[in-house]
Structure 1
């Protein structure tokens, strides 16, 4: 029996990369998973891999109506919710002096507003023992050239967990942050190219980028009872990148 046997999970940004790897691990541990994302083709591909214990809902985390549809689908099929992995995120480069309002809005709408809405709309369906996981980033600790808006958004996510742990006192719900470093997702490989991947690997004490499955494994730990005395914590899964 897996450590998530009988649990129901929602994973935003669940069609590709870290979200998809986490969905695979959650299902392997016995969970039923709803993956949520913007691109229907990617969701269809994820479902083909994940099998019968997964469902997909298309939409954006910054759109309240889309999230309402997601949680209505969860309620209709499963009745309640045990795990929320607020993983959807976006980021792009823009140096100080060149940052546009559109750049700020795109990043904060997804990474901050989207995270808040994802969790807040899930709360009525969650009860004692539930786990909320937020995706942070090593950039939220270290900063990065031309990534100030992204880094600031991930620092905000880290504080959401601290503040929400206070708000959730007495509910039996836990909230923690999972902060990856450079991870070899499809998007990262495409954006960085071979040379860029080598640069990020060289910056990391372990001298490589993470496999998405390694991040998914830690998400499963935070979702399970093995992390039952953890809340308001940040778990860095970054190969040491932000720790030295």
Structure 2
């Protein structure tokens, strides 16, 4: 029996690197994708620039499947002046990668989208999410201007759209014999953490203080590994939020749940 084979984007560092290592450790095969693939990767690794949406399908054409799962892990952080790139890479590129690899996904395969706790308010912002989803990606600069979007909002919106797409796509994927789920981490100690600290400021610092620490890439990778595996077969269209309790703390504050404590 062939070992399970998984495709992972953003595999050179952070959560993607941790996930690849975990999959290899349990005997799986990995095909990786990254802007700058690691030269010493112990698995096939393809160069792909997710910021160039027209280049994604050609870059993925040589990736040999079938794949038992795909983790859309790659993404960029909320750096000022990068609003168009944030929306293109964190949302539109994820869809393009999935579309390109869809014919090479094996029956029963699992798609895992790496979203964020920053996308938790997608229901509240659904009208803007739908406006984003309706545009041609070539019109992103005009969209950013007309909507008055800064880098932080671009990041939040990209993750809101990614979660909404996951939920909206779930039934169609089920009909194809596939699954799709989203992971929505809180702050994670990767090389991009300083960008998030600059974007979210004191709010993020307070959340990390309340949780006791940021998450670790290996902790998020463990959840992605589970969602990719057949063991999570009854999870479809789910929003899994490994955030150290940050979401629960905020909900307790908002809803006055402290009155229910022991």
**Hey, what's the Cα distance between the residues in 2 that align with 1:230 and 1:132?**
11
1:127 Cα deviation after fit: 2.7
Alignment partners' CA distance in 1, 2:36 and 2:207: 32
1:13-28 equivalences under 5 Å are 13-28=10-25
Residues 1-244 of structure 1: pairs in structure 2 closer than 5 A = 6-40=3-37, 43-44=38-39, 47=41, 51=42, 54-64=43-53, 66-75=55-64, 79-94=65-80, 103-141=82-120, 147-188=152-193, 192=197, 200=204, 202-204=206-208, 205-244=210-249
Q: Distance in 2 between matches of 1:29 and 1:213?
A: 14
Aligned length: 220
Two-structure CA RMSD over aligned residues (Å): 2.7
Q: Matched residue of 1:242: which SS?
A: helix
- TM-score in terms of structure 1 length: 0.80
Deviation at residue 70 of structure 1 after TM alignment: 4.6
- Provide, for residues 147-193 of structure 1, a one-character-per-residue CA deviation record: whole Å limited to 9, x for no partner: 11100110000011111112223221000001111111123258759
Equivalence for 1:97: none
For 1:189 and 1:128, the matched residues in 2 are separated by 40
> How many Å separate the matches in 1 of 2:197 and 2:211?
19
SS in 1 for 2:63: helix
C-alpha separation between the residues in 1 aligned to 2:76 and 2:195?
A: 14
> Deviation string for 1:107-165 (max 9, x for gaps)?
1110111011011111101132100000110111159x961110011000001111111
Asked if structure 2 preserves the Cα contact closer than 8 Å seen for 1:130 and 1:173, the reply is yes
Measured in 2, the distance between the counterparts of 1:19 and 1:169 equals 25
Q: Which runs of 5+ in 2 are unaligned?
A: 123-149, 250-262
Gapped runs of 5+ residues in structure 1? 95-101
Mapped contact 1:197–1:209 kept (Cα < 8 A): no
State the structure with more CA Rg: 2
How far apart in 1 are the matches of 2:31 and 2:82?
Answer: 29
Per-residue deviation, 1:211: 0.9
Q: What's the TM-score once normalised by structure 2's chain length? A: 0.75
